[in-house]
Amino acid sequence: MSSTLTLTTASASPVEDRYRYKYLIAIAVTLAAVLELIDTSIVNVAIPHMMGNLGATLDEISWVSTGYIIANVIVIPISGWLSAYFGRKRYLTGSILLFVLASFFCGAASSLGFLVFWRVVQGIGGGALLSTAQATLFEAFPPQEVGIGQAMFGVGVMVGPTVGPTLGGWIVDNYDWPWIFYINVPLGILAAIMTFIYVRDAEHQERAETIDYQGILLLALCVGSLQWMLERGERYDWFESRLVTTLAVISAVSFVLLIWRELTAREPVINFRVLASRQLAAGVSIAALLGLALYGSIFVLPIFLQSLHGLTANQTGLVILPGAIASAITMAFVGRNANRLDARATVAVGAMLFFASMWRLSRMTLASGPEETFWPLIMRGVGLGLIFVPLTNASMAELKMRELAQGTGMFNLTRQLGGSLGIAIMATFLTRFTTQTKQLLTEHVTTMDPMSLGRLEQITRALTARGINPALAHQQALMVLDRQITAQASVLAFSKIYVLSGIVLLCSLPLLFLFRTGKGRGAMGPAH
């Protein structure tokens, strides 16, 4: 009896040791991922300060954001290959340290070129911090607790973009723009130390013997051109511009060549064969539509609150924060009960809650206050919490352990590109909807319309009462009326954008029928 007990204990100890530091690993890789996500949006509020300090135009300074994102999306899909080539621990630790080093030099930049260069380097380092971190958590937790690890990661993914502008606004207001980069240094060093100490190399990963240079080049051309087009398309009026058209052609041709190359290469840098899993193929498609709907709505809401309601970046962040907290609480619940939940049900309910929240936001008017966004944003947060963890786990359910890094890389890439597409589409539609609606409203504001004449006369009298010359008061009244029409047109345009975002996510629901199971990896038996 005693010998049996001894053998059982001895055989169990390696397994227990393997998962001993699971929460410390989760904290380390999630912290790194949050830093990467925050740096995607934190620079936006500091752009005016950078322009003044570096003597750059708006078009020039936009490369601070564009360069980072392009480098980021190029690295994400090959992070699984890089992790296998260098070893997960070394690659992840090295990427964090590269991110930290680049952050320091971004803060120390004295010229635009220097800043853009180090932002690109920062994007290269940051590309590993999403998909590699997520793949790490699938192995760091026991199969039955995988949902908990993904929930911790999901909280960071959802809260990061929300915290970015608020944190950036506070730093710029109280210190100076370089500190939006310097803040990464101590936190990044902490994440790197924890990663080096606790993260292990993947047990099932196979190191490539050759480097697929052609695949890397085609990937850079495809994803880089596409991201550049999405970032600059609206500014150059899309396909009216020869540059945008050229970028679209380069992206399309290199995409076809990339697929051909990777499917015929002996050791491809991107393993498209994992998409033979119907579960993963459906999951990444839903992730793309989720990114489009989510990032599109995240993009327009701050504009709505700041341009029409006069809120600062800090105030806007505080308005959005309760929804992020609701998302975190929901993810914690879903993660703990992941093995008992069916992703097909939770994703469907989450998508419906997201649509309901967008519908309620679409009913807001100029008279609506920021407090009226509270419950719609709570609904959105709960909806996203019901989607993220179950969708990720179920998408990876059929993959072998050695395929997880490639699977998470594709999942994060499609969500990121979907988000970029969503921002580009919503920015274009916002401009066009506002212009079209203003034209329709202006048609009713004529000298033959009694209500328009009455409103104009009311404004003129109010201005005259302040001592303004009647002729000048009339001219100013016309300008005030034009601003009011523009504001009303903007509200109606925002309303259409919100509804459109909700519809996009609902359109992803039929893809759930392609899932063979709604259970995650933890409920699929031992890892294989």
The predicted-structure confidence for 67-125, as pLDDT tens digits, reads as follows 888 888 888 888 888 888 888 889 999 999 999 999 999 989 888 889 989 999 999 99
What is the arithmetic mean of pLDDT over 18-45? 83
- Compute the average pLDDT of residues 32-47: 80
Residue 2 has a pLDDT of 45
Percent of the chain with pLDDT over 90: 20
**Looking at residue 1, what is its pLDDT?**
44
Mean pLDDT of 129-137: 82
Distance CA 133, CA 76 (A): 11
Distance CA 133, CA 405 (A): 9
Residue 351 banded pLDDT, cuts 50, 70, 90: very high
Query: Quick check: 414 pLDDT over 50?
Result: yes
Helix residue ranges per DSSP H, 337-469: 343-362, 374-395, 404-444, 450-465
Task: Give residue 176's pLDDT.
Answer: 82
Reference 320, options 278, 386, 370, 263; nearest CA is: 370
Least confident range of 6-15, 92-101, 314-323:
6-15
Alpha-carbon distance values, 427 to 244, 344, 430, 433, 438 (Å) = 16, 31, 5, 10, 17
In the chain, DSSP finds a helix count (H) and a strand count (E) of: 22, 0
Mean pLDDT, the chain, rounded, equals 81
Q: Answer yes or no: is pLDDT of 454 > 70.
A: no
One DSSP character per residue, 424-453 reads: HHHHHHHHHHHHHHHHHHHHH-STT-HHHH
pLDDT at 5: 42
Is a pLDDT exceeding 80 seen at residue 441?
no
What is the C-alpha separation between 274 and 400, in angstroms, rounded? Answer: 9
- Cα 521 from Cα 341, distance rounded (Å): 12
Long-range CB contacts (< 8 A, 24+ apart) of 118-123? 119/63, 119/64, 119/65, 119/67, 119/68, 119/71, 120/67, 120/68, 120/70, 120/71, 121/71, 122/39, 122/68, 122/71, 122/98, 123/67, 123/68, 123/69, 123/70, 123/71, 123/72, 123/75
Provide the pLDDT for residue 520. Answer: 67
Residues 6+ apart with CB under 8 A from 249: none
The C-alpha atoms of residue 298 and residue 320 are separated, in whole angstroms, by 9
**pLDDT computed for residue 7 by the predictor:** 39
Band the pLDDT of 313: cuts 50, 70, 90: low
Give per-residue pLDDT as tens, 239-276: 888 888 999 999 999 999 999 988 888 888 888 888 88
For 290, other C-beta atoms within 10 Å of its C-beta total 26
Q: How far, in whole angstroms, is CA 52 from its chain's centroid?
A: 28
pLDDT at 9: 40
pLDDT greater than 70 at residue 393: yes
Q: What is the DSSP letter of 524?
A: S
Residue 189, pLDDT > 80, answer yes
Q: How far apart are CA 314 and CA 317, in angstroms?
A: 5
Query: Which pLDDT does position 389 carry in this prediction?
Result: 84
What's the CA angle centered on 28, arms 194 and 216, to 5 degrees? 100
Rounded CA separation 82/90 (Å): 10
